[in-house]
Structure 1
């Protein structure tokens, strides 16, 4: 398996819209809690990715794209804080791995790439949230992320149930 991870610009991301729509739909329909409910419609997924393409015009947004043998296998985003007292931090969001490629280290590779990108851009504190009990918790913990707390009844699932979300953080290297 040949995994390639890079940070494409908005123009390149736009060329992958169909594959990204399919990735988001697959992720949501397979239980990912990333702000959408299943079944996710093509139009809603496409509108989301078009918004990401527009946001990539800003230097404060980065998208890591994982491809396996040329096929889009996953993505993760880095959203940098822009307030004066927050320029040292960023949020990791929408870590997605297509179900056909899970359990192959792609999520970990995406996270490592985001962490390196954040470090290069002067970020020292990263945060993210995930559904409590989701498989992603194991991934984040294995990469040294620290569980900061739980917010009850934060995310709703398709059946209407409310679930807790967990906030994680990671301090990159020794920032003093």
Structure 2
């Protein structure tokens, strides 16, 4: 059984090696998550160290999926701190381990991320994904709305330029919506 939870700062620091393993696997398997293949473990460690630091500083929320005490998925939220944008957050780096894909783990991670965003007072979420990826279908099925496409926006892990689809989702019940 897969469990989903949000990590506090201490748990985020402790999870860095497992998160690095997950990122290396995803990039080397072709995921378009900001890195090029082959992914070096040290680079993945450095990346997740920065993310853990931002969790500790309250700038990000890190959600993970675990199965049999092993990390098998993650997604994080960038909490936008600007005074005129503190109602929103960006979803970043949804990763699911190869062996548990197509079992609803990604959807469960996204549901948890949306709930965490609402609890943090965020009412608007955005994200970008490679056009045609499975993530694009997932986000559409969860009520995310496409608001644009940019050709050749990012490179795949193999170096090929790829189009990116941008989505938004408004969350009902978030704290700032009640104040309107």
TM superposition score category, shorter chain reference: over 0.9
- Aligned pair count reads 175
After superposition, where does 1:5-154 map in structure 2 within 5 Å? 5-154=4-153
CA contact (8 A) 2:145 2:168 kept: yes
Higher relative contact order (CA 8 A, sep 6+): 2
1:158 positional shift? 4.5
Runs of 4+ that moved beyond 4 A: none
TM-score with structure 1 setting the length: 0.94
**Structure 2 unaligned residues grouped into runs of 5+:** none
Deviations 1:2-25 (A, max 9, x none): 121111122212222221111001
CA contact (8 A) 2:154 2:164 kept: yes
Which SS does the other structure have where 2:71 is aligned? strand
CA contact (8 A) 2:27 2:157 kept: no
| 1:3 paired residue number | 2
**Structure 1 unaligned residues grouped into runs of 5+:** none
Taking the aligned partners of 2:56 and 2:43, their CA distance within structure 1 comes to: 21
RMSD: 1.3
CA contact (8 A) 2:16 2:52 kept: no
Taking the aligned partners of 1:15 and 1:152, their CA distance within structure 2 comes to: 38
Taking the aligned partners of 2:102 and 2:91, their CA distance within structure 1 comes to: 20
Deviations 1:82-110 (A, max 9, x none): 11110110000011111111011110000
Taking the aligned partners of 2:95 and 2:2, their CA distance within structure 1 comes to: 15
Taking the aligned partners of 1:146 and 1:131, their CA distance within structure 2 comes to: 15
TM-score with structure 2 setting the length: 0.92
